[in-house]
Amino acid sequence: MCYYRLAIYECKHTIYGRKMAYCKVQQDFLSGKRGLECTTKNAHSLQTLRLDSDCEKCRKLDELQLRTKQALKELREGREGSRDTAGSSMQDSLIDSLDDVTSDLGSSGAPTSDDTADISHDV
């Protein structure tokens, strides 16, 4: 278990820095006594640094979350404003577009016998 520098961010994410000390397994590997190198990382307590900021990934995520909240707020305000000024015109236009879609499907919206004629019923 080799010892590394460690940075701990305020968001609790960690990042390992450079290697500080080799363990016995790694020393044996470097001297040729062992075939496998050490793959275990351990933080050296005297070389651990606590940072008062979030990591880069968390900063980007917080920024994205803030922009999304602002965009949703603007959409909500825009929707409420359009309700006040336009009344029910948005609802009327939605109903008209739904009527157009259902008229394209036929009177019932269900498939007709012509639509199901090509389906074979072999079992």
- Is residue 30 located within the same domain as residue 67? no
Where does the pLDDT of residue 92 fall: very low under 50, low under 70, confident under 90, or very high at 90 and above? low
Residues 40-78 pLDDT 10s: 899 988 889 999 999 999 999 999 999 999 999 988 888
- Is residue 46 located within the same domain as residue 59? no
Q: Name the strand (E) or helix (H) holding 34.
A: none
| Predicted pLDDT at 94 | 58
- Is residue 46 located within the same domain as residue 63? no
CA atoms within 13 A on the CB side of 104: 6
Q: Are 55 and 13 in contact (CB under 8 A)?
A: yes
Average pLDDT, the chain: 77
- Is residue 12 located within the same domain as residue 41? yes
Where does the pLDDT of residue 114 fall: very low under 50, low under 70, confident under 90, or very high at 90 and above? very low
- Is residue 62 located within the same domain as residue 41? no
- Is residue 32 located within the same domain as residue 68? no
- Is residue 36 located within the same domain as residue 60? no
29's tokens: 């590997």
How many domains would you assign to the chain? Answer: 2
Q: Are 6 and 47 in contact (CB under 8 A)?
A: yes
- Find the domain containing 43 and state its range: 2-50
Domain membership flag for residue 16: yes
